[in-house]
């Protein structure tokens, strides 16, 4: 019930002006967010992930020492965004330096559920993929690229 008393609006004898102001402030604050990915702070070592020569997002990238033994934990992990960029960060304080070292790569599905990566690529021993950072032939402008082999992605649609 809205009453008009002495030139003021009241809602059940309570001023509604503070509620209106609160509502406007809430709407303004919600609208202040930015969805621009270029404003995101990204840390770690950049790799690009491609499938069929197109960048692919929703892929978890794991790096293991070349001397991988079954059961070893990954040293670095990152997740690719829709542009195929994955920023790998160390999992522990004792992770070796990433530069100038050869790494075994494993990839897992982290997508929307409409596709999955063939489980053999989840195991660095079976995936047969390797990558190197900071090698003699790399420039400061380029980042290592992981190209998933044909057939590595399976559709979940029936």
In the chain, where the domains are located: 2-31, 40-153
- Report whether 48 contacts 143 (CB < 8 A): yes
What mean pLDDT comes out for the span 58-72?
Answer: 89
pTM value > 0.85: no
Work out the burial of residue 115: count CB atoms within 10 Å of its CB; fewer than 13 is exposed, 13-18 middle, 19 or more buried.
Answer: middle
Residue 147: closest CA among 102, 83, 66, 84: 84
Q: Does domain 40-153 correspond to CATH entry 1.20.120?
A: no
Q: What pLDDT score was predicted for residue 24?
A: 61
- Report whether 54 contacts 150 (CB < 8 A): no
pLDDT in tens, 93-103: 888 889 868 99
pLDDT in tens, 101-137: 899 999 999 767 789 999 999 999 999 999 998 765 4
* Choice between 132 and 157, residue whose per-residue pLDDT is larger: 132
Percentage of residues in the chain having pLDDT higher than 70: 67
């Amino acid at each position: 019930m809205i009453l008009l008393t002495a030139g003021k609006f009241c809602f059940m004898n309570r001023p509604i002006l503070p509620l209106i102001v609160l509502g406007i402030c809430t709407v303004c604050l919600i609208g202040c967010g930015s969805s621009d990915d270029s404003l995101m702070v990204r840390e770690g070592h950049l790799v690009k992930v491609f499938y069929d020569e197109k960048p692919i997002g929703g892929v978890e990238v794991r790096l293991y020492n070349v001397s991988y033994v079954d059961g070893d934990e990954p040293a670095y992990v990152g997740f690719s965004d829709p542009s195929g960029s994955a920023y790998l960060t160390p999992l522990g304080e004792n992770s070796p330096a990433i530069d100038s070292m050869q790494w075994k790569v494993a990839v897992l599905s982290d997508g929307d559920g409409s596709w999955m990566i063939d489980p053999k690529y989840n195991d660095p021993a079976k995936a047969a993929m390797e990558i190197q950072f900071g090698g003699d032939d790399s420039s400061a402008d380029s980042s290592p690229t992981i190209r998933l082999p044909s057939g590595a992605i399976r559709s979940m649609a029936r």
